[in-house]
Structure 1
């Protein structure tokens, strides 16, 4: 039986979040300590644990069919590789930063300066588009120390919370791109593997939709029912059930977690009571 071969990062936060979403898709992986490859017990899936920077080449060569990888890595090493889903985790920025002591007034600061980075292709493309000429020092790891030891005038690196920049007396001055984990696909994926991917992607979409939604139950006075229903976006239309108490109905709906508090405030203002909010594990459309 054919299996879908998926690459995920060998270790780190992306590894943990990747395994979590696979688990939430109802797929059980037989993981052993320091394994480089593992199989699922209940889905035709084979997991390869690889170095993040190597994954684009494995996709390009068809060694793996798909991968969960940071979009920033694809921009740097795999612009020819397509992705089919944004996964909503491992969000970060790829940014330029300089010493806090520097006065920064624009991109011209970097003209004829030195930049240390692990993302040379990303930096070159961005600065070339801006007409800025720089010297790039390729560093793998600990990029943020470069300005402090006189190796470079600035750096380009991943920024999540900004705490690493702060600790090294650096400040973010330009954002080159924003990134998150994506589901990337090999250009050599077979028809059989694509059929399995379609099933996996259906499950992933259901998990992501559940993560981004809340199930809301509330009590509404019947004379305010139409106004309250108009506030609720819902999937199609909310479920309305009569309560034992005359003049009241129970309303059930789904709302986006991003709009959640604004909608709740509006519901209360229109007379909704007893509002109950529940998480959604999965949402099959």
Structure 2
């Protein structure tokens, strides 16, 4: 652990808060804040991970550490048996330094952080705060996704024409349930968009070598998933350019000749904070407003 005299505050970062521009890291100042990550043995071994998922989490985290280090931050990784023990070790080694973190999505981790006196900053990696959701939900005896969806559309002014949905209908599910195309005899098979492939860098290679330490299942990393924000933005652009047009009609289709169909493949990046839902929605809306995107596709996506 580095000497605390060079730090005024510690920022604890979890694996799903890897955004430099949101949450606690958005407030970080080089030379003042020490950035701490905890690699928990329990988290990495309590379940059998898919090799690509574990690779993705670890490599995204290592890329952020490298970026922060290059930006002049003091970056520390604590290896511990559990997240709690790692945080207790951190508190014991820095009893006089304030520790802050973005409020985690995990309730159990939030309880641990509260018990150790960690200051929790609002988690703005979502479009809706817990307080906003609670306020909305208090007006209903039972919660229905459709009503929440309409409230969000109105509140965020997404695909709205004043107080009505663009096109006059809230959802176009009836247009978005086509089966996979079945070419007639003599016709060429339907061509689905080719997914992006991402080249490995030195950090990726080092993380890939670590996978042998863990019990995993599934195909090893093969370039399907980016591990940086730059790569995540490239995937977003690839989706809006190549797949958004036909996203809607086949969003529920399960063809046998592709696993990607017209899907965005953006969920992992949203889950760890490399993309913000607001920028994803805006990128799709911007493409729609340029023309050529059916309303059923843009509505089905957002």
Shorter-chain TM-score bucket reads under 0.3
**Greater per-residue strand proportion:** 1
**Greater per-residue helix proportion:** 2
Who wins on radius of gyration, i.e. which is larger? 1
Higher RCO, 1 or 2 (CA under 8 Å, sep at least 6)? 2
Question: Please, what TM-score do these two structures have when normalized by structure 1?
Answer: 0.25
